[in-house]
């Protein structure tokens, strides 16, 4: 599996298998085992996904060595604060059935995220975490955290929404300027805007005898943006994994560029409504 080197020297696979919305215990366990069998070597979960235990069970059952798997989890908002973050992370370790986690992110850029980031720095120094980062940090919050801290550490990764309709060109440049690796979530936009029926993407896919999904993932790969992809169907997992045997032309990359609508397909983290919605999730997810 192709890897990218993070700012702390650790290496992360370009492709990660995501477990968001796979809430059924047995289905999640099976999906992770199938993903590992297909060849995925990076697994992404989170406290708020409610499936860390299922992921941990899969890791305990697989024949793939733990050191060959890049495991990511995320600290949820209700666990922000220095002591709360440390305590919740140790509970995650128990659920994941592992002595360490490769990458731990702060899930959202709200609340006491500075204290939580300081806690992640401490956990990294203890060897319980290899790399630390953030998720959904827009440019201002990311640069603020990078410049105004006394830890001497900047995030290794920033997981952000990136898809053909929300390409984040400027944000990706900002992340890379501060030596933070942007990682794309929802590369297919969860099917919004009829992405799989899009004429431009379908024309490109037919030219390469590939699927639209493979074209989107290859587009991200050629932009040097690692990504998370999710499916509970093993055939789809194999399809999403096999993107290294073709290359998009400069013209095709420019055609995809024309699809950019420059706004989220989900919600705006910088708007009052966006923050209010995230806050409402605390009650839902605990």
What value does the mean pLDDT take over residues 278-282?
A: 86
Residue 285: its pLDDT value, please?
A: 75
DSSP character for 112?
S
Q: Which of 47-56, 142-151, 265-274 has the lowest mean pLDDT?
A: 265-274
For 109-122, write each residue's pLDDT tens digit.
Answer: 999 999 999 999 99
What value does the mean pLDDT take over residues 7-28?
A: 98
CB 179 within 8 A of CB 154: yes
pLDDT score of 286 more than 80? no
88 vs 279, more confident: 88
49 included as an active-site residue: yes
Residue 1: its pLDDT value, please?
A: 80
Beta strands 129-135 and 157-161 are parallel
Alpha-carbon gap, residue 119 to 8, rounded angstroms: 17
CB 216 within 8 A of CB 163: yes
Residue 38: its pLDDT value, please?
A: 97
CB 44 within 8 A of CB 69: no
Residue 277: its pLDDT value, please?
A: 85
What value does the mean pLDDT take over residues 36-47?
A: 98
Q: Which of 49, 80, 113, 221 is catalytic?
A: 49
Question: Taking the model in full, what pTM does it have?
Answer: 0.96
Indicate the pLDDT class of residue 256, thresholds 50, 70 and 90.
very high
pLDDT score of 230 more than 80? yes
Residue 25: its pLDDT value, please?
A: 97
Which segments are annotated as binding site for substrate?
Answer: 107
User: Among residues of the chain, what percentage have pLDDT more than 90?
Assistant: 91
Nearest Cα residue to 46 out of 269, 188, 230: 230
For 129-170, write each residue's pLDDT tens digit.
Answer: 999 999 999 999 999 999 998 888 999 999 999 999 999 999
CB-count burial class (<10 Å; 0-12, 13-18, 19+) for 136: buried
**What's the mean pLDDT when you consider all of the chain?**
96
Domains of the chain: 3-285 (3.20.20.100)
């Amino acid at each position: 599996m192709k890897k990218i080197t993070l700012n702390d020297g650790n290496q992360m696979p370009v492709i990660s298998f995501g477990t968001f919305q796979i809430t059924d215990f047995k289905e999640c366990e099976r999906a992770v085992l199938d993903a590992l069998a297909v060849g995925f070597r990076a697994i992404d979960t989170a406290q708020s996904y409610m499936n860390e235990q299922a992921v941990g069970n899969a890791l305990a059952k697989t024949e793939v060595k733990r050191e060959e798997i890049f495991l990511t989890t995320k600290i949820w908002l209700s666990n922000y604060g220095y002591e709360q973050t440390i305590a919740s992370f140790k509970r995650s370790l128990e659920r994941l059935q592992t002595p360490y986690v490769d990458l731990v992110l702060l899930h959202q850029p709200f609340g006491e995220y500075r204290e939580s980031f300081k806690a992640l720095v401490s956990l990294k120094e203890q060897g319980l975490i290899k790399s630390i980062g953030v998720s959904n940090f827009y440019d201002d919050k990311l640069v603020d955290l990078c410049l105004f801290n006394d830890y001497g550490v900047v995030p290794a990764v920033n997981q952000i929404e990136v898809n053909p309709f929300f390409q984040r060109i400027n944000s990706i440049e900002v992340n890379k300027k501060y030596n933070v690796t942007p990682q794309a979530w929802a590369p297919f936009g969860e099917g919004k805007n009829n992405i799989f029926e899009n004429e431009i993407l379908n024309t490109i896919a037919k030219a390469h005898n590939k699927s639209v999904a493979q074209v989107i993932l290859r587009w991200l790969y050629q932009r040097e943006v690692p990504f998370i992809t999710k499916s509970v169907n093993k055939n789809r997992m194999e399809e999403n994994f096999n993107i290294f045997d073709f290359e998009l032309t400069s013209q095709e990359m420019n055609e995809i560029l024309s699809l950019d609508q420059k706004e989220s397909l989900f919600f705006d983290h910088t708007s009052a409504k966006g923050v209010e919605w995230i806050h409402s999730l605390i009650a839902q997810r605990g």
